[in-house]
Amino acid sequence: MTVMNVILLLVILHSCCCVDNFDTEKCKDRFGASLDENFALFKPTWQTSTKGDAVASRAVDGNTNPYFGNLSCSQTDPANDLVWQVDLQEDIYVTSVTITTRADQYWSSSDSYHVYGLLVNGGSLQEWKCAEGFFPNTGETKSVTCHMPKKSNKVRIQLLKPEGILSLCEVEVHGRKFDYYEYEVNYALRQTGRQSTVFIEDKNPYPAILALNGDRNTYLYDSSCMHTSTASYPAYWSVDLGKVITVNAVTLTSMDLPRYLPRIADFDLRIGFAEKNDDENYENCVGHILGFGSAETRTIFCKNPTRGRYVTIVSFVNDFFHLCEVSVHGDELECMAPEPFGFETFKIQDSQFNSSSFHDSKHGPENARLNFRGTQNPQRTAGWVAQNSDSEPWIEIDLLWIVTVTGVLTQGRAQYNQWVTSYSISSKVDGMTFQFYVEEGQKKIFTANSDRDTIIRHNLRPAVVARWFRVHPVTCVSYCAMRLELIGCQNGLYGTRPPQALGMANGQILDAQLSASSSDADWEPKHARLQSNGNGWAATTPAGSWLQVKLPTQYLENLVNNK
């Protein structure tokens, strides 16, 4: 058996990004790979030894039952350095692995295995590390994401516990096919490009657009590659995607120059919101990149998905710089791992709800919580109920900071045949008026419920970025009554995290980042810090005055709630 590109992943388990009972769409890991696509399913497997009939293939049979007695889990004999391996039978970029562990009450032998990473290519061996951790013995299904995808056709899991037993109930391997750039959306295709200088030979220019035409021909004189002159150092090439997206990978094709040293061998890959090519306006996709072969096509994955409109390649080779094709891959979603904000779990507190009216104190907006069944002490009904005389009812939620809302879930009132059959939504951020959600220039009306308890979900594309969110019942049965939940991200692309101060109070934001329209020596902008001992900032000319805080690049797209 020929060993090809054996890869072993070292990972930390964390909860899968899909939200049970909430996310009806395909879920992705941070490299854009679908967690619903399993490259290991029914593929050939191998393990160091086999206990009875607990063969390795049980872990790729699609059965995630965590109980060994149901013949769904593999198991080895006790030994050192135990290994389980699957042959994917194709080259892919492995981005994440989902593993189901055993739940037997007596089982306690699989809690100390790690998953390591290495790449074997022919006679060479490259080891790489994604993360590390321990698997719980609770029958959980967890997804783990690698720090950086690697091309491979095998995945191996190794137990480090001395005289341990390796038992796996299901292993799923997720990734991107090696040539996925050929059939997925290329956000750079035929967009506007620019470069530091343009090489001209025999009156034929080689501008930036030649790397954006979809042609991976690596021969310069077929007019398929951009080419700079040596007039500027460092040289750069940039593309305007025409809109802000979440970039997770960029595929580059270099020119065929077998007789010369590679001229795309030392470069940065930057993503940002501004056209200006400097460090302040860009995030580095992956760090400094060294080494790129002649006529090579390679996909470079960003360490973290990065929002931006401009993708720039800065070459530090003091020579010509050329590229034959650049494709940019990503997602237009603002939130890639939506989670419920916490209406049902009471993470959203009663004080965050408001409404245009309510039937009486027992029917207040704080009862509008998904699956809420009411309480007796104090007496609260199972849902918000507006007054029948309210001709334009609404319920409002203050989410306390600016968030990304990607979905709305609604139910009727639990005890009575009262529900909302259609509604609209509106939202706002600080200092703004409520804006209705529109589609094709018209206020969008969402179809809602037809019974008491069925959950109706609507995904918002595009998502809503706001702090205050309102649902406006349009048509109702009996009374306008509802329970609801919002889905989205509170901070960033992947799940909910509490807000954090950016550093005015603790000095993390430096004095040099603060400026103002005017001030005097005792009231400078540097004194405009929360809880500072200074006098604060004051403008010497009040009319048209302003205070400015220059934030790092990662905050350029965020709206800031200031106080």
- Model pLDDT for residues 31-64, shown as the tens digit of each residue: 888 888 999 999 999 999 999 999 999 999 999 9
User: What pLDDT does residue 81 have?
Assistant: 86
- In this predicted structure, the answer to whether residue 554 has a pLDDT above a threshold of 90 is no
Render pLDDT for 273-319 as a digit per residue (tens, 0 to 9). 877 656 566 888 888 888 788 888 999 999 878 888 999 999 988 88
Is the domain of 467 the same as that of 382?
yes
Q: Which of these, 149, 142, 207, lies nearest to 181 by C-alpha position?
A: 149
Answer for the pair 305, 246: CB distance below 8 angstroms, yes or no.
yes
Answer for the pair 79, 48: CB distance below 8 angstroms, yes or no.
yes
Largest CA distance in the chain: 87
- In this predicted structure, the answer to whether residue 531 has a pLDDT above a threshold of 90 is no
Cβ count within 10 A of residue 288 = 10
The CA-based angle 174-180-183, given to 5 degrees, is: 130
Cβ count within 10 A of residue 271 = 26
Residue 77 belongs to a domain: yes
Q: pLDDT exceeding 70 applies to what percent of the chain?
A: 82
Highest average pLDDT, of 94-108, 134-148, 463-477, 518-532, comes from 463-477
Is the domain of 53 the same as that of 170?
yes
Residue 393 belongs to a domain: yes
Is the domain of 205 the same as that of 305?
yes
Is the domain of 55 the same as that of 114?
yes
Collapsed DSSP state (helix, strand, coil) of residue 351: helix
Render pLDDT for 384-418 as a digit per residue (tens, 0 to 9). 999 999 999 999 999 988 788 989 999 999 989 99
Q: Which domain holds residue 389?
A: 339-489
Domain count of the chain?
4
User: What pLDDT does residue 136 have?
Assistant: 62
The band of 535, judged by pLDDT with boundaries at 50, 70 and 90, is: confident
Which one is predicted more confidently, 198 or 306? 198
Tokens representing 3 are: 């060993």
Is the domain of 319 the same as that of 345?
no
User: What pLDDT does residue 533 have?
Assistant: 74
DSSP-derived pairing of the beta strands 204-205 and 141-159: unpaired
User: What pLDDT does residue 97 have?
Assistant: 87
Is the domain of 173 the same as that of 188?
no
- In this predicted structure, the answer to whether residue 4 has a pLDDT above a threshold of 90 is no
Q: Which of these, 557, 537, 369, lies nearest to 463 by C-alpha position?
A: 557
Is the domain of 552 the same as that of 515?
yes
Q: Which are the contacts of 484, defined by CB distance < 8 A and separation ≥ 6?
A: 343, 368, 369, 370, 395, 408, 409, 410, 411, 471
Q: Which are the contacts of 208, defined by CB distance < 8 A and separation ≥ 6?
A: 193, 194, 195, 226, 237, 238, 239
The band of 126, judged by pLDDT with boundaries at 50, 70 and 90, is: low
User: What pLDDT does residue 557 have?
Assistant: 38
Distance CA 1, CA 52 (A): 25
Answer for the pair 26, 36: CB distance below 8 angstroms, yes or no.
yes
Is the domain of 132 the same as that of 152?
yes
User: What pLDDT does residue 102 have?
Assistant: 85
Is the domain of 385 the same as that of 311?
no
The partner residues of 226 in beta bridges, in order of sequence, read 323
Which long-range CB contacts under 8 A does 124-131 form with residues at least 24 apart? 128/10, 129/10, 130/9, 130/10, 130/11, 130/12, 131/10, 131/11, 131/12
- In this predicted structure, the answer to whether residue 368 has a pLDDT above a threshold of 60 is yes
Is the domain of 102 the same as that of 125?
yes
Answer for the pair 181, 329: CB distance below 8 angstroms, yes or no.
yes
User: What pLDDT does residue 13 have?
Assistant: 33
Is the domain of 484 the same as that of 345?
yes
Average confidence score pLDDT of the chain: 83
User: What pLDDT does residue 558 have?
Assistant: 39
Collapsed DSSP state (helix, strand, coil) of residue 184: coil
- In this predicted structure, the answer to whether residue 181 has a pLDDT above a threshold of 80 is yes
> CATH no. for residue 373?
2.60.120.260
Q: Which of these, 261, 257, 255, lies nearest to 227 by C-alpha position?
A: 255
- In this predicted structure, the answer to whether residue 493 has a pLDDT above a threshold of 70 is no
Cα-based distances in Å from 203 to 198, 199, 221, 223, 473: 11, 10, 12, 12, 66
Which of these three, 274, 309, 332, is where a domain ends? Answer: 332
Residue 1 belongs to a domain: no
Is the domain of 511 the same as that of 455?
no
